[in-house]
Amino acid sequence: MTPELVAQTMDKIIRPTLDTMAARGTPYRGVLYAGLMLTTEGPKLVEYNCRFGDPEAQVLMMRLESDLIPALMASARGDLSGIDLTWSPNPALTVVMAAQGYPGNYDKGTRILLDAVDESDELVVFHAGTQDASDGAFTAQGGRVLNITARGKTVAQAQAKAYAGCEKIDWPEGFYRKDIGWREIEREINQGEK
């Protein structure tokens, strides 16, 4: 999202919601996830969740350089004064690996091998629907199973790292979309041409 879209979302969706809750005597404390759709008329609210979004949280955690616990505790107390989160300027991107058939019928118990994946500060495989198979492998136990999250100097670099990680995962019964991040990469390219 561009800074303009963030400002528009805060001004038209988030702040009015929080102001209304406070005016009704039920001020909100905690994490509030806004599921949005970007339309030609601007951002539209699809849903609120009183938790971090999944897989959106993985991207945030890859960029967060501060300790999250003090911020969560302060939020629970209702006093965020003195909390200053530090974020990496580098973008992050998550690719979800899902079981074949998802979101419909899918098999559980298929084997996943992650031995070839080189995890680092720049690439992490978050487990969303796996079970340890006790022999170094994992088994798929859900529809959305793995979140491969990478950070790079650009969205294009983060995307390349995430997809390289996906390619190293040995899970024939898994699949992932090949178009994650394309809008932001297009925006990076267009800004580079200016």
CATH number of the domain bearing residue 131: 3.90.600.10
Which residues of the chain are under the pLDDT cut of 70?
193-194
Instruction: Judge if 40 and 103 occupy the same domain.
Output: no
pLDDT in the model for residue 57: 94
pLDDT in the model for residue 87: 96
Residue 15 lies in a domain: yes
* Domain containing residue 40: CATH number: 3.30.470.20
The Cα–Cα gap between 52 and 66 comes to: 17
pLDDT in the model for residue 178: 97
Instruction: Judge if 109 and 165 occupy the same domain.
Output: yes
pLDDT in the model for residue 191: 85
Residue 179 lies in a domain: yes
Instruction: Please count the structural domains in the chain.
Output: 2
The Cα–Cα gap between 159 and 178 comes to: 10
Residue 31 lies in a domain: yes
Instruction: Judge if 175 and 118 occupy the same domain.
Output: yes
* Residues spanned by the domain of 179: 92-192
The Cα–Cα gap between 88 and 118 comes to: 21
Residue 9 lies in a domain: yes
Residue 105 lies in a domain: yes
Instruction: Judge if 106 and 187 occupy the same domain.
Output: yes
pLDDT in the model for residue 194: 60
Instruction: Judge if 32 and 122 occupy the same domain.
Output: no
Instruction: Judge if 45 and 111 occupy the same domain.
Output: no
- At 158, list the tokens: 């983060």
Instruction: Judge if 96 and 188 occupy the same domain.
Output: yes
The Cα–Cα gap between 70 and 86 comes to: 13
Instruction: Judge if 102 and 184 occupy the same domain.
Output: yes
H or E element in which residue 160 lies: helix 155-167
pLDDT in the model for residue 2: 80
Residue 26 lies in a domain: yes
